Chains A and B, each alone.
Chain A
Amino acid sequence: MSVQEPVDLRCTINGVARELRAAPLRRLLDVLRDDLGLTGTKEGCGEGECGACTVLVNGEPVNSCLVPVCQVDACSVTTIEGSGFEGVQAAFLEHGGAQCGICTPGMIVMTRAWLEERSRLGAAVDLESARKALAGNLCRCTGYAKILTSALAAAAVKP
């Protein structure tokens, strides 16, 4: 079987069961953007450095530019277009966490993953853990100060 030969995949995308037909090694990023029209997931570098393409796969944050689509077979994928981001989005709006906006979807997805992980661990939501969690998401506009403020504010509103 050629790696360019499309295969059938089943996965849940933003809560909806989908059947996809795609070459197994195509990037998850391209399938989301080009086949499914979910262009909220951005490409900044294509090599897993910038984090703009961050999505959740079974709740775990991944760089979708590094994930071959065959790996999400039978998985649940959540992008910025999905639900559950409202509190984080409101915090980024209120506290100036978005400037040009290109890193913002990935940053918001990663912030949610961080909040959920802290909650799972029963760990404190503090500045240092936010810094570490968001270290793989690059922003050139904000100097991160207002992103970190937004992330901590989101923690305060999140149940």
Chain B
Amino acid sequence: MNRSVGGVLARPEGPAKVTGRALYVADLRVEGAWVAGTVRSNVARGRLLGFDFDPAFDWKRVVIAGPEAIPGANLVAMIVDDQPLLCADAIEHFGEPLLIVAAETPLTLRAALAAIRPRIEVRPAMLDMEASEQLFKRIAIDKGDVEAVFAAADGAAIRVLEGTYRTDTQEQMYIEPQGFVAWPPDANGTIAVTGSMQCPYYVQKSLMRAFGVEAHNARVVQAATGGGFGGKEDYPSVLACHAALMARVCGRPIRMLYDRHEDLAVTPKRHPSRVRHRTAVASDGRLLAMDIDVLLDGGAYTTLSPVVLSRACIHAAGAYRCENVRIRGRAVATNHVPFGAFRGFGAPQVCFAVERQMDRIAVALGLHPVELRLCNMLRRGDVTATGQVLEHSVGSVEVMDEILARTKIDRHPWRAQQTGNVRRGLGLAFFFHGAGFTGSGEALLKARVAVELDREGCVIVRSASTEFGQGTLTMFTAIVAQALGCDARDVIIADADTQGVPNSGPTVASRTCMIVGGSLQKACAELLVRVGPGPAPFRERARAFVQRGGDSQIEITYTSPPGLAWDDATYRGDAYPAYGWAADVAEVEVSLDSFEVRVKRFTSAVDVGKAIQPQMVEGQIEGGSLQAIGFAHLEAATMKHGQFQQNRMATCVIPTTLDTPTFDVALIEVPFEHGPFGAKGVGELPMDGGAPAIASAIEDALGIHMDHMPATPERLLEAWLAAHPKEEL
């Protein structure tokens, strides 16, 4: 019996990774390559007047390319064409790229970059999202009649509670900084790049626009990629175009590798948020009306902000049942470095807000936080804020039962008075996360995936879905081996190379398993029919099939499950094919001497539909949860004059082994009939619950309500002093 799905397969790329043989972009030896770097603005806003070149430097040793060297459009091709590849006039953010410089050695390059000074007329910058009136995107979601409920509120039978919640930005901090190698156009005019990325076809689209070439003349190959978490979704398009531009100008290969300092300064991070809640509740805790206002700082250019806002708004009411909901969302422009994709994609911000609001309601009504959530959580058959009837794979009850069984938080006296210098707390978060693209995204994308047999009867899988740690290759291998009944060693996943694989879409949005993996399962079902049954192992039958001339090439284009309907104009309908459901409980200790939070234990119950590779799914949940724990209390991330202040790893901290709690992960499987073997998504889900669970645990420990993440010691001290004005330190 084949146990590929649900068992443990070795990572196909694992041996190369543990021996150091895996080739990341910085490891590639490229004959004749020069190195390139970027001249950047040193102000958040201004007008570029020109450059001063130090006459003491020998400028014959370097090559310089400006916007006039771009053969096609001076644009980063994303959602809206508002971001130049190289700024020619109006500077909109700190670190905006102005010129690309290349030299034979890094030493010469560094000297040249130091000898170029941009002349900039400084203009006042907009750095406050609440004051910005320049919109990237506005979203409205309406259900029922919110105003009628608020009008009926009497402060007794119906009470109204308000809260404002804020989250700062967060750095993805993949351990491998961004980098690309580009080659000059070959005899056919084909540009080639390779680098660290999540989405080869996004990079290809950008190259096509910037160089005015067709798809077959823009080749993008993913190198081994040292983490992404969304941070390598859109920015590689910028870096690849810069490197390819210089390769074209120089006529030689170009290596463009950011060091940590540059990566931290200019690549996109999580959107800062401000979310307002106004909630009408019945005295028994039932949510009667939710009025939610979501504001995201998009930074200087549109990039991915409209879609981040979309996911934020759809998740803003949390995993709760409410007849009357009004959600208003805005993503606004500021002169910050553009904010972008980071695991969770808008949901962690709004999940923090709604879960904190639930705790606020619990306190006001004198209910246990668990009781309030059990009273309101979405169950099978309930209707979401967008009007989606939840009929498929709803694991809300299962995850809640499991988390209560494991932690007994429902019997824990929350916010009980404590004494002593170390206070302890337990906090719960309950949440869901839509798997795949929002709304009609998948229907428009029409992701493609292909399989075929080689002469030996091995199965070759072709997709543009990339491996950057999450286990894409292993998960695809398991699905194919299970679907065909073949040995996992007979599955070959082709390199993510735009000349060799169809566009299965970007590797984002918890879509790779459910969407691409689902198509792969269909392709395998078709292949199995073609090869035919028999007593011999699959590979032998497959080899015979190929040798008698059988056509094994199968390409599947994704189609949405039947019955899904979504209206982009009204934001009504089925926002996602399925949701992952989860509950987290954090156990913390807070020292009253240092206001340092220590997370001791972190329990998660997570409904993933089906864990294709349970060990890897646990790895996703533990890794995502630790990022969420960092977001909750450790990863201070501040902006000043439009610059990200934590400009090195020493100051831009992430959790270490010593900041890591004991994890307890329960995998719950409520299968989704349209996912491969029942699987939904898992990548983003564990990013959502950590911040609110820890904030709730801190409230349990200290009796103070933190509404701004991260809860750094400084913020906790400030809140403590506000709550205890007469206390002596």
Contact = CB atoms under 8 A, between A and B. Distances in A.
A80 to B, nearest CB: 4
Contact of B226 (A80, A92, A102, A130): A102
B616 A102 contact: no
B541 interface: no
A144 B663 CA distance: 10
B622 A50 contact: no
B226 A42 contact: yes
A12 interface: no
A124 B88 CA distance: 63
Nearest to B24: A102
Interface stretch (B41-49, B511-519, B649-657): B649-657
Interface string A90-109: 00111110111111110010
Q: Is the interface of A mostly helix, strand, loop or mixed?
A: loop
Most buried by A among B16, B224, B616, B619: B619
Contacts of B226: 42, 100-103
B260 A93 contact: no
Most buried by B among A42, A101, A130: A101
Given A138-B654, A141-B227, A148-B657, A104 B468 contact: no
A37 interface: yes
A144 B175 contact: no
Given A99-B623, A104-B17, A146-B618, A140 B656 contact: no
B56 interface: no
Contacts of B176: 42, 44, 100, 102
A45 interface: yes
B265 to A, nearest CB: 14
A85 B655 CA distance: 26
A70 interface: no
Contacts of B626: 143-144
Nearest to B658: A135
A138 B175 contact: yes
Most buried by B among A40, A136, A142, A144: A144
A139 interface: yes
A61 B19 CA distance: 17
Interface string B612-642: 0001101100111111000000000000000
A130 B658 CA distance: 10
A139 B18 contact: no
Contacts of A49: 648-650
Given A143-B622, A143-B623, 12 more contacts: A40-B20, A46-B260, A96-B616, A99-B470, A99-B471, A100-B468, A100-B469, A101-B16, A139-B175, A140-B175, A140-B229, A144-B657
Closest 4 CB pairs of A and B: A40-B20, A102-B226, A100-B469, A101-B17
A6 to B, nearest CB: 14
Contacts of A143: 619, 622-627, 660, 663
B175 A52 contact: yes
A79 to B, nearest CB: 7
Contacts, number: 159
Contacts of A80: 19-20
A52 B24 CA distance: 13
A37 B23 CA distance: 12
Contacts of B720: none
Interface in A44-103: 44-47, 49-50, 52, 79-81, 85, 89, 92-96, 98-103
Contact of B175 (A41, A100, A134): A100
Interface stretch (B6-14, B77-85, B149-157, B561-569): B6-14
Given A39-B23, A100-B176, A101-B17, A146 B615 contact: yes
Contacts of A42: 20, 24, 26, 175-176, 226
Interface of A: 33, 37-47, 49-50, 52, 79-81, 85, 89, 92-96, 98-105, 108, 130-132, 134-148
Given A100-B468, A146-B622, A105 B20 contact: yes
Interface in B236-292: 259-260
Nearest to A108: B18
Nearest to B21: A40
Contacts of A100: 174-176, 225-228, 468-469
A37 B27 CA distance: 9
B173 interface: yes
Contacts of B468: 100
B262 to A, nearest CB: 11
Given A93-B11, A102-B24, A138-B654, A44 B260 contact: yes
B175 A39 contact: no
Given A47-B648, A101-B226, A142 B619 contact: yes
B469 A101 contact: yes
B20 A79 contact: yes
A131 B657 contact: yes
Contacts of A148: 657
Contact of A89 (B18, B172, B623): B18
B537 interface: no
